[in-house]
Amino acid sequence: MSEDGSDVTRLDVKGKQEAYHDWEARTYEDKFNISYDDRCIDYARDRFRRVVDEGERFSRVLELGAGTGFLTINLALAGCLDGAELTVTDISSGMLDVCVENGRRHGVTLQPQPGDAEALPFPDASFDLVLGHAFLHHLPDPAAALAEAHRVLVPGGTLVIAGEPTRLGDRIAGVFKRAAWGGFRAVTTVPRLRHLRRPGIVESGGDARDAALAGLEHEVDLHTFDPADVEAMARVAGFAPVRVVTEELLANWVGWAVRTIEASVRPGVLGERWAFGAFNTWRRLSRIDRALEGVVPAALFYNLILHARRPVG
């Protein structure tokens, strides 16, 4: 790669995904406040249990676009994947390296396999559960990934993809992100508070290549989804039955404001109390959101969960 990073901008879309996520791998968890404690274990378990019953057991599990392992490791720690062989795949080897290290640190054995979710490196009918979290919106062709998930699942196998942004929910969230960012920038113009700002790439020792890679952030989020389109896409891929659930309204507005501040603030400033406080607020608002489901149109909620089965026949 060139020193000034000029070649980064010439990569195709998948090259950009790989380069950006390789570069981001070591700081990704700090940016999104990902952990492997009660906070994230509860979050992962609650997403999974919205669509998968307690009694269901799986023996061969694959996560697509697994990143640093947030979903699989936290579900394993929650006891949702007991006894299963866990395979993780991602287009970014850098992410998978961190994922395997995280697994080791938390006593979860993972089989890593770099690969493109649109052309999976696994034989047909290899898994009985395929998982994904916040990856589908990065793919140029999400329908191809659903077709691949269908291919690698055994008949009767289950697909669960969570954490995908809805089109309307994302637009509304944008208002809260911009407000939080503007508020944080305004408050930290006060000289006494300036040190709270996260240092820029160059300020924190990065070079032009790092700056070019960081600039890809705005090119790697490719989609937001209409829930009905995701349902139709899964049916076309061959899944039946298919169910799409949306969640997080008020919780998401506050959640994005919190995440925007977390991504803007100098690492280490906020600490665990902030993380748990923010999570508890998010939980309280989620309860209100649950009560609003069925009253407020599903498309206004931010987070989409897809649950589908490969038919037996």
Ligand X SMILES: C[S@@+](CC[C@H](N)C(=O)[O-])C[C@H]1O[C@@H](n2cnc3c(N)ncnc32)[C@H](O)[C@@H]1O
- The smaller minimum CB distance to ligand X, of residues 35 and 281, is found at 35
- The smaller minimum CB distance to ligand X, of residues 21 and 259, is found at 21
Both tokens of 302, joined, read 């931010």
Is 118 a binder of ligand X (CB under 6 A)? yes
Both tokens of 148, joined, read 């691949």
State which H helix or E strand residue 88 sits in.
strand 85-90
Q: What minimum distance in Å lies between the beta carbon of 235 and ligand X? A: 22
Site string for ligand X, 175-214 (x = CB under 6 A): ----------------------------------------
**117, 160, 173, 306: which one contacts ligand X (CB under 6 A)?**
117
Q: What is the DSSP letter of 140?
A: S
- The smaller minimum CB distance to ligand X, of residues 95 and 305, is found at 95
Is 135 a binder of ligand X (CB under 6 A)? yes
Is 225 a binder of ligand X (CB under 6 A)? no
Name the segment binding ligand X (CB under 6 A); options: 44-52, 116-124, 191-199, 230-238. Answer: 116-124
Q: Which residues bind ligand X (CB under 6 A)?
A: 14, 17, 21, 65-67, 70-71, 90-92, 95, 116-118, 133-135, 138-139, 163
